């Protein structure tokens, strides 16, 4: 991990839950995919979620920006309860940025247009201002010189950095990452993790689904383990990795470490 890692230790504000999930359940039809999820996330806190494939990690973070609906329990994001009342959806999407495994850039738009689309059409930001903001974030992910290119002309690592910049253009208060490096060739993983570390240093609240355990150790305040739709345990990285409590966690860690 690079030297930035050392500084990624901004103090979490106490008594400042930005996300509160209480006794939450979700079903896909008859399939009980999330069970009794309770999780509080504080402002500037960084959480890494790991667990086997199919354990519900993606579904959980997709519930936090309402890409998926839950059926039972409560999710509150920055004071807004996620309910069937559709009025709050746009607010939530602006509040909570999401970065996916497969980047999800629009292939027919330039990098710059990918970044300005949301601010111009959703936020009603004037184009010139949206472009200034876009260039600011492209600089931040060190890719400004690619602004006029199309996604297909960029490497996977560059596309993922663009996807992160695109999320930041909406000025989110929370960023969700769903296995942001798992579709990348190994040599590109570090450039994306470095951008995420720099975001952490800026104080961004982050929930990251990832099996990059080096990143988890150095950047996370808490690591959670999910299995069969439950949060089995969660702890500081040191306690989590050095002294896992549950057999399922031990088995999982023995398989990936």
Question: CA-CA distance, 35 to 180, in Å (whole number)?
Answer: 25
The residues that touch ligand ADP, with contacts defined as CB under 6 A, are 28, 31, 33, 51, 53-59
Measured at CB, which residue is nearest to Mg ion? Answer: 58
Specify the residue, 56 or 244, whose C-beta has the smaller distance to Mg ion. Answer: 56
Q: How far is the CB of 56 from Mg ion (least distance, A)?
A: 8
Specify the residue, 130 or 208, whose C-beta has the smaller distance to ligand ADP. Answer: 208
Specify the residue, 8 or 231, whose C-beta has the smaller distance to ligand ADP. Answer: 231
> Measured between alpha carbons, how far is residue 154 from residues 111, 125, 161, 162 in Å?
10, 27, 10, 10
Q: How far is the CB of 227 from ligand ADP (least distance, A)?
A: 9
Is 55 a residue that touches Mg ion (CB under 5 A)?
no
Reading the block at residue 115, the tokens are 């970044």
Q: Exposed, middle or buried by CB within 10 Å (0-12, 13-18, 19+), for 150?
A: middle
Is 58 a residue that touches Mg ion (CB under 5 A)?
yes
Q: Which stretch in 8-16, 43-51, 54-62, 149-157 sits in contact with Mg ion by CB under 5 A?
A: 54-62
Bin 66: left if φ > 0, else alpha if -120 < ψ < 50, else beta: left
Q: How far is the CB of 217 from ligand ADP (least distance, A)?
A: 21
Q: What is the four-CA torsion angle of 126, 202, 232, 64, rounded to 10 degrees?
A: -10
Instruction: Pick what 172 binds: ligand ADP, Mg ion, none; C-beta below 5 to 8 Å, kind-dependent.
Output: none
Q: How far is the CB of 256 from ligand ADP (least distance, A)?
A: 14
Reading the block at residue 176, the tokens are 């969700």
The continuous run of DSSP H or E covering 116 comes out as helix 111-121
Specify the residue, 17 or 179, whose C-beta has the smaller distance to ligand ADP. Answer: 179
Q: How far is the CB of 101 from ligand ADP (least distance, A)?
A: 9
Compute φ and ψ for 238, nearest 5 degrees.
-60, -50
């Amino acid at each position: 991990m690079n030297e930035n890692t050392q500084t990624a230790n901004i103090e979490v504000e106490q008594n400042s839950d930005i996300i509160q999930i209480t006794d939450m359940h979700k079903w896909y039809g008859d399939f009980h995919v999330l069970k009794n999820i309770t999780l509080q996330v504080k402002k500037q806190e960084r959480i890494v979620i790991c667990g086997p494939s199919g354990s519900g990690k993606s579904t959980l973070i997709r519930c936090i920006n309402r890409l998926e609906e839950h059926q039972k329990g409560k999710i509150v994001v920055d004071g807004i309860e996620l309910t069937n009342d559709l009025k709050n959806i746009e607010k939530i999407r602006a509040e909570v940025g999401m970065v996916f495994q497969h980047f999800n850039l629009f292939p027919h738009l330039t990098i710059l247009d990918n970044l300005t689309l949301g601010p111009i059409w959703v936020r009603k930001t004037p184009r010139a201002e949206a472009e200034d903001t876009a260039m600011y974030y492209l600089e931040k992910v060190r890719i400004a010189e690619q602004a006029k290119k199309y996604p297909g002309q960029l490497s996977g690592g560059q596309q993922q950095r663009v996807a992160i910049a695109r999320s930041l253009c909406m000025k989110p208060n929370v960023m969700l990452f769903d296995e942001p490096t798992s579709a990348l060739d190994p040599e590109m993983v570090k450039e994306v993790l470095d951008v995420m570390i720099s975001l952490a240093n800026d104080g961004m609240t982050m929930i990251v689904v990832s099996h990059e355990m080096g990143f988890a150790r150095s950047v996370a305040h808490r690591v959670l383990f999910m299995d069969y739709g439950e949060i089995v345990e969660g702890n500081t990285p040191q306690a989590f990795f050095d002294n896992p409590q549950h057999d399922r966690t031990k088995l999982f860690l023995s398989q990936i470490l």
